[in-house]
Chains A and B, each alone.
Chain A
Amino acid sequence: MKDTLRWAYALNQWNIRMDVFVRHEDQRRALKTCSALGFHHVELAAGTGRWDNLGRPEVIELNHGGPAGFLDFLHGCSVHGVSSMYWDPGQPAEEEGWAFRSTRNRDDHAAIVESAKPFADFLAAIGTEQLVVRPAGSAWLQPPLGADDVKTIGEVWNAVGKVAAAAGVGVALHYDCLSAVHSADEVGQLLAATDPALVGFALDTAELTIGGIDPVAFYAGHADRVTHVHLKDTRYADTGEEYRMPGAETTMLRGGAGRRIERWFFELGTEGGLVDVKAFVATLREHDYPGWVVVESDHGGNPAELAMLNSWYLQHELGVAKS
């Protein structure tokens, strides 16, 4: 099917623990897996330390000598480039002194903008279009958003967007189901608080669904702001506000408490999936969506098996020819 969609695959599913996705040969095997399945661009995820060696510009450069060397590494696996990189400024990094930063704290804004610069510069150097960011931390870790908080959060992303735009990279705010910016109304407020010329929205179909927001309707209502997509499915919605549980990263997303759901994210076409993937992709096509669609398995099982199933779904159910 001829359309504007560009497909990529997220590498985060391979990096399930700090010490398992480190050797270049292991990374090559993941890249070749994506390539053999028709995904010739990948999304990286920011991290920290010597073993997260696809997670920070300076560590990537240490491993590959620089942007050109890194691109050679990708090209050697028939992967043409990096579509995007996910970054959460609230995730402390060894390279930044393990500083705890919050986008709703104006005192942290300058440091957040500063820490974004190397990412933007590196992504520009390797031809990557999007820096995908977590706009706010988990809801359970902070008081409810006040009247001024969304505005404050918007300010820092406008500033990051300005820095990234200067480098030629877009910034997309990624919704996740644990985020303090949680409801459709709050997301709308955040989008209103950011400059459309500098800041877009990264729509994650499963995360929105878990958060109680219909991704098809949301896209239709905000098509002009959606600059990035994560495509994955889920079998559950957070109907009991489990995202507010202390330690929701484990109590909710790993089934430590609440309904004890140990796996929330699933491959496309999963039985009982709540995301209407076909309708969503049809909507993207109707709007000639120009950005990347990153298929993501997000720690759901054997990475290669899930990538194969996702590729099958694209080819057989979405009419995407394998390139």
Chain B
Amino acid sequence: MPESANRSRFRDLDFGLIGFYLVCAAVLTFIMLPVFVVFFYSFFGSAVGGLGSPTLEFYEGAISNNLDAIILSIQIAVITVIVDIIIGVPAAYTLVRYDFPFKRLAMELTILPMAIPGIVIGVAIVRSWGAPRFGIDIGGTVEIIIIGHILFTIPFVIQVTMATLESVNYRRLEESARSLGAGWLRTFLYVIVPNIYNGIIAGAIMAFALSLGEFNISFFVYTPQNTTLPIALFGGFRTATVGEASALASIFILLIVGLLLIVQLISDEGVKLGGNV
């Protein structure tokens, strides 16, 4: 009907709707503006503060001067994520699956590091592990940075894993597997883990990105020999050229965006594991 078609086209031009689009566009601009500015300066920045001609030299400088920091940050993030998964996934399963005294309290404790400011964790880590304790002396080492990062990121892995467990109705899966003759370990490895694999990977990538960008805790425990990428970036903005610091920031953003794309891909595609005829 032409009349109703006209009416619906008229509704599309509704001023309220246009208002919503405008708000949405403003928010997106607000989010993206700093990113664009950093990208812009990474190509056009100049040593004296004005604008230069487009160049890739800042990227060369950023990479060659900070290669150690980039590699160290990636190494720390990888180890952090591996430890997060090895202890976080069984912890999440235990918290969701079993009843025990103070279960609620235990669940809330796992969120605590998310809620406590990183700077507070940083101070606490230095107080706890900065000096030798129980015969363990890790002050000023990479290990202490990793401990801080695990503390900061593991709540995310635990939270995502718990949510995924609930969403796949793990209890029915587990009961089916056990009725079919699988003990708890085979049930966990062949059925539970593969069915929550997407959640684990999503949590892991989130933890990886958080570790890569972690500044507050690292700032308290790093040494000049153990400088991570965010610390280098902080130093860069104070000492290096605008262009080089912007290039380093851009590399950072690209790393994170790449990781987010992988998360997206995994949640869209799904992954199949554990099957065997």
Instruction: Tell me if chain B binds chain A.
Output: no
Give residues in A with beta carbon < 8 Å to B: none
Give residues in B with beta carbon < 8 Å to A: none
